[in-house]
Chains A and B, each alone.
Chain A
Amino acid sequence: MRYLPHTDEEIRDMLAVIRRGSLDELFCSVPDSCRYEGEMPLPPAMDEWQLTEHMEILAAAMAVDDKARVLIGAGSYHHHIPETIRAIISRGELLTAYTPYQPEMAQGTLQGIYEYQTLTSRLLGMDVANASIYDGASAMAEALLMGLRVAKKKTRVAVSAAVHPHYRQVARSYLAPTGYELVELPVGPDGRTDPALLSSLGDVAAVAIQSPNFFGVIEDLEGLASLVHDAGALLIAVFSEPLAYGLLKSPGACGADIACGEGQSFGMPRSLGGAALGMFACRNEFVRNMPGRLVGQTKDLEGKRGFVLTLSTREQHIRREKATSNICSNQGICTLIASMYMASLGASGLAELARLNHSKAEYLKSGLRVAGAKVVFSAPTFNEFVVEFPGDFRPAYQRLLERKIVAGLELGRFYAEHAGRYLFCVTETTDRKTLDAIVAEVNS
């Protein structure tokens, strides 16, 4: 086996040094009653060429593959990934390193994360970002727990019903055994969160609002921020499409106290939803209540600039059960991908790309409207929007699918009241011809 370097002779020599007769004898401390019986029922070993062939068969089983046009976002977005990212992250020095516990031999990882923290803070308009957590959903769950820590005595949090349904489910899972209560804020007819309930909620520690929300609608974060703060709560701004902030006012500028969400859009493939990147940032005053790792700048013995993991006393390995979170890793290499992506585009590139996404989505939106579909929500949207077709859209959806176009996501599974309505996402990867084909199909 090519990953196992030992020759039979070496095994013999090593066993002789430790005075064991066989490899089996190494496990003399394992009682018989704990032993595995027989061989593990797994398929036999494949060589590199067999595995490649096997993966080709699995790839061929994908009715929707990389050649298809998928007009679904909903937390996972198709954007072009520059070849530079693939080239750099395949460097073993970065990819095969562990958590930077020995900073002198991990300055690449550490400076890379510090840069990620900085670009993330600037994008979101916040003071400080952590070294990332698992994904957008766990980021929001951790933010709610953080809000409860900051508020100390309060036991209730509120989440908009326009937050990604899966994010809300994860928050419920995290809160289930804690005794904290999660209240949902309804969505108004314009597709924005209706804040009317806020004033009557009483003691709420934090309020989570996604913008652009699950329906693609851009929330009035500024307006919500003052209402949330009047209620004595923290505003958590959530996102699943960070590209929007290439154009949109940042959560920090809108008054958010914590901003968190999914960073997959920044250079990561959809890959069935992972590996993901939980981006997480907050105002300075809350940094000691923040979950996750942090990298900080410092100096070495000779006064040279360098980077280390810092403020570790918040974390599980030191504060044990009183830690701000049980998280022990970050999404490492994904932070470098996101940094590379942000740095490669720069401010003007990010704005241009965001504008292109928005323009393309608006193009399809108006095309569908002309074809007789109703745009369900009136508030402005970014690169996603919800439509209702005059008749049954399913036959058209099927015909488009045969042409390898996936025309949106039907919402009935997530919102019973929106059954039969479709959430569309258009990014720079979809050309006008495809958009025209969808409109033509609705017209026919």
Chain B
Amino acid sequence: MSAVTIPGASGIIQNEPLLWEKGGKGRRGMCVPASDVPVAELPAALCRDELDFPELSEVDVVRHYTRLSQWNFGVDSGMYPLGSCTMKYNPKINEKVAATPALAAAHPMLPDELVQGSLQVMYELQSYLAAITGLPAVTLQPAAGAHGELTGMLIFAAWHKSRDSRRTKILIPDTAHGTNPASAALCGFKPVPIRSGPEGILEVAAVEAAMDEETAGIMITNPNTLGLFETRIREIAEIVHAKGGLVYGDGANMNAVMGIIDARRCGVDVLHLNLHKTFSTPHGGGGPGAGPLCVSEELARFLPAPRAVRDGELYRLDWGGPDSVGRVHAFHGNVSVLLRAYAYIRTMGPANLKKASQLAVLNAAYIKERLKGTLPLAYDRPCMHECVFSDALLQEHKVTTLDVAKRLIDCGYHPPTIYFPLVVHGAIMIEPTETECKADIDQFIAVLEQIVGEAAENPELLRQAPLRTKVRRLDETLAARQPCLCGS
């Protein structure tokens, strides 16, 4: 028996078939209003054959998804220290705000004067994000972080084109977010990898050597994916600017530095924010997110249009000028996500936003300090919101990072991010976020210590994990060799 109390225990897990394996002919789970008009027919040649959909009652549907939800784990279920993903608590009032009937019913093509409430939210959110980053011009259209990056790269390309400068390359450090190279490549820039130095951060000399007149700029994630602050960012920005380049700041980790750093003072020209990370909107099992983009005054004219502006007492959409890179979304982005972030900022206010960053860093630093005797630290430097350990110790017991992660599942935790960043062997990347309290963090630390102990004494327990979930480890090779992507 272990001395450590773990939150994980076996609950009732019910089996549930696929949607089309249940139900019965003639059932229906939703009303269709009675018709109050004559039936109109479409030409038969345009009409389809019978559609092969399941037929389910309302009870069938509700039980189906309730059971599915019981096989899942969210922030509401427990600690979710997934590094780089910022799984902080998602406040419930934000859901109500997003569902405000008049705003949820707003049609995106209505004239400005008919949707003043929606436009006011957009305008104010733009100004809040500008205030938080120090970059004055904001578009809310990008639907996710990677979409913001793409928009940023479109602006890089448009800015260089406007200056008749042809640039084909872009610098991307090995501690940048994984999406950066693909976003840059979509805009015709060839990524040039820059190695971080022995301290886990970028060195000025490395950037100086790589930056030239064919390079459009640099994409820096700060704090970087090792959870370290890029302390040389200003000098690096100066070098890039001096050679006619721009600095892209991947603001995915802004949650660590709200009210602490000013992106403009750091020399950043373009920066995206992940509202689903920093501003607490729920991740929804993969989305929708929102990735607004903030830029310097000089680059404002390149932003996608429209943006909300204030005209005296009225809010209206500004349709931009000829330099705009154009739309990146059919309408205004994931507005229901924007509403949640708006509610969060209004609820927190400036002092609590700053405190959230401080506590996020405090929690990570505390975990780093308490666990560094148990697991080897990748870089023993002051960390920001996350800390990264390596698998150097586990290898001795022929136990992998994956095994530790799976054992954590049995103990009732979502595992940290594993095998990322790539610069750390068998990386275990822990981001507790500010919404975990000390007692819960202490318990998590105790559980990880216990698991590392088990790795030495009973490694098979780890290799066999998880045992308490709906399914055991899944065969990903089979899934990829014989893809079955659609039910029959």
CB of A176 within 8 Å of the partner chain: yes
For the complex with contacts A97-B72, A272-B115, A356-B32, 17 further pairs of A-B residues with Cβ separation under 8 Å are A4-B356, A24-B358, A34-B265, A45-B347, A46-B349, A62-B118, A88-B65, A96-B283, A125-B48, A132-B287, A170-B327, A270-B108, A274-B333, A297-B479, A297-B485, A306-B474, A323-B182
Instruction: Kindly supply a per-residue 1/0 record for chain B positions 388-425, scoring 1 wherever the CB is within 8 Å of any chain A CB and 0 otherwise.
Output: 00000000000000000110010000110100000000
CB-CB under 8 A for A316 and B438, given A72-B109, A107-B72: no
Stretch at the interface among A150-158, A202-210, A229-237, A340-348: A340-348
CA–CA, A297 to B27, complex, Å?
27
Q: Is the CB of B260 within 8 A of A99?
A: no
Chain A residues within an 8 Å CB radius of B426? none
CB of B436 within 8 Å of the partner chain: yes
CB of A78 within 8 Å of the partner chain: yes
CA–CA, A119 to B486, complex, Å?
8
Task: State which of B38, B66, B69, B113 has its C-beta within 8 Å of the C-beta of A359.
Answer: B38
Chain B residues within an 8 Å CB radius of A60? 102, 117
Instruction: Kindly supply a per-residue 1/0 record for chain B positions 8-41, scoring 1 wherever the CB is within 8 Å of any chain A CB and 0 otherwise.
Output: 0000000010111001000111111101111110
Q: Which residue of B lies closest to A250 (CB)?
A: B48
Q: Is the CB of B39 within 8 A of A359?
A: yes
Chain A residues within an 8 Å CB radius of B109? 72, 74-76, 409
Instruction: Kindly supply a per-residue 1/0 record for chain A positions 337-364, scoring 1 wherever the CB is within 8 Å of any chain B CB and 0 otherwise.
Output: 0011111111111111101101111110
Q: Which residue of B lies closest to A131 (CB)?
A: B286
CB of B350 within 8 Å of the partner chain: yes
CA–CA, A98 to B78, complex, Å?
13
Task: State which of A43, A322, A325, A349 has its C-beta within 8 Å of the C-beta of B30.
Answer: A349
Q: Is the CB of A118 within 8 A of B355?
A: no
Q: Is the CB of B330 within 8 A of A137?
A: yes
Task: State which of A17, A92, A270 has its C-beta within 8 Å of the C-beta of B366.
Answer: A17
Q: Is the CB of B147 within 8 A of A428?
A: no
Q: Is the CB of B475 within 8 A of A112?
A: no
B318-368 interface with A by 8 A CB criterion = 325-339, 343, 345-356, 358-359, 361-363, 365-366, 368
B35 CB, min distance to chain A CBs, angstroms: 5
Chain A residues within an 8 Å CB radius of B330? 75, 135-138, 164, 166-167, 170, 262, 273, 276
Q: Is the CB of A76 within 8 A of B107?
A: yes
Query: How many of chain B's residues have a CB under 8 angstroms from any CB in A?
Result: 199
CB of A421 within 8 Å of the partner chain: no
The 30 listed contacts between A and B (C-beta, < 8 Å) are: A5-B437, A23-B362, A33-B234, A39-B350, A54-B346, A58-B117, A91-B66, A92-B76, A92-B90, A104-B474, A105-B409, A107-B71, A118-B19, A123-B51, A135-B143, A170-B330, A248-B47, A270-B105, A274-B334, A274-B338, A276-B329, A299-B474, A300-B474, A310-B476, A310-B483, A326-B183, A328-B178, A340-B65, A347-B52, A348-B28
Q: Is the CB of B334 within 8 A of A43?
A: no
Q: Is the CB of B471 within 8 A of A51?
A: no
CA–CA, A285 to B341, complex, Å?
41
Q: Is the CB of A359 within 8 A of B114?
A: no
B291 CB, min distance to chain A CBs, angstroms: 9
CB-CB under 8 A for A42 and B35, given A62-B102, A339-B19, A340-B61: no
Chain B residues within an 8 Å CB radius of A407? none
Chain A residues within an 8 Å CB radius of B287? 132, 275, 329-334
Q: Is the CB of B74 within 8 A of A96?
A: yes
Chain B residues within an 8 Å CB radius of A317? 178-179
CB of B429 within 8 Å of the partner chain: no
CA–CA, A47 to B93, complex, Å?
10
Q: Is the CB of B48 within 8 A of A380?
A: no
- What 8 A-B pairs have minimum CB-CB distances, sorted nearest first? A273-B331, A92-B76, A45-B349, A273-B108, A333-B284, A96-B74, A108-B72, A332-B286
B131 CB, min distance to chain A CBs, angstroms: 5
Chain A residues within an 8 Å CB radius of B405? 102
Stretch at the interface among B187-195, B205-213, B239-247, B453-461: B187-195
CB-CB under 8 A for A62 and B288, given A45-B348, A308-B476: no
A69 CB, min distance to chain B CBs, angstroms: 11
CA–CA, A6 to B366, complex, Å?
13
CB of B132 within 8 Å of the partner chain: yes
Chain B residues within an 8 Å CB radius of A106? 71-73, 285
CB of A224 within 8 Å of the partner chain: no
Chain A residues within an 8 Å CB radius of B479? 296-298, 308, 310
Q: Which residue of A lies closest to B409 (CB)?
A: A105
CA–CA, A331 to B100, complex, Å?
21
A220 CB, min distance to chain B CBs, angstroms: 9
CB of B292 within 8 Å of the partner chain: no
Chain A residues within an 8 Å CB radius of B229? 27, 29-30
Instruction: Kindly supply a per-residue 1/0 record for chain A positions 53-65, scoring 1 wherever the CB is within 8 Å of any chain B CB and 0 otherwise.
Output: 0110011111111
CB of A403 within 8 Å of the partner chain: no
B346 CB, min distance to chain A CBs, angstroms: 5
Q: Is the CB of B234 within 8 A of A31?
A: yes
CA–CA, A127 to B352, complex, Å?
50
Q: Is the CB of A14 within 8 A of B97?
A: no
A191 CB, min distance to chain B CBs, angstroms: 14
CB of B4 within 8 Å of the partner chain: no
CB-CB under 8 A for A332 and B54, given A44-B349, A65-B105, A138-B143: no
Chain B residues within an 8 Å CB radius of A92? 74-77, 90
Chain A residues within an 8 Å CB radius of B186? 145, 174, 177-178, 325-326
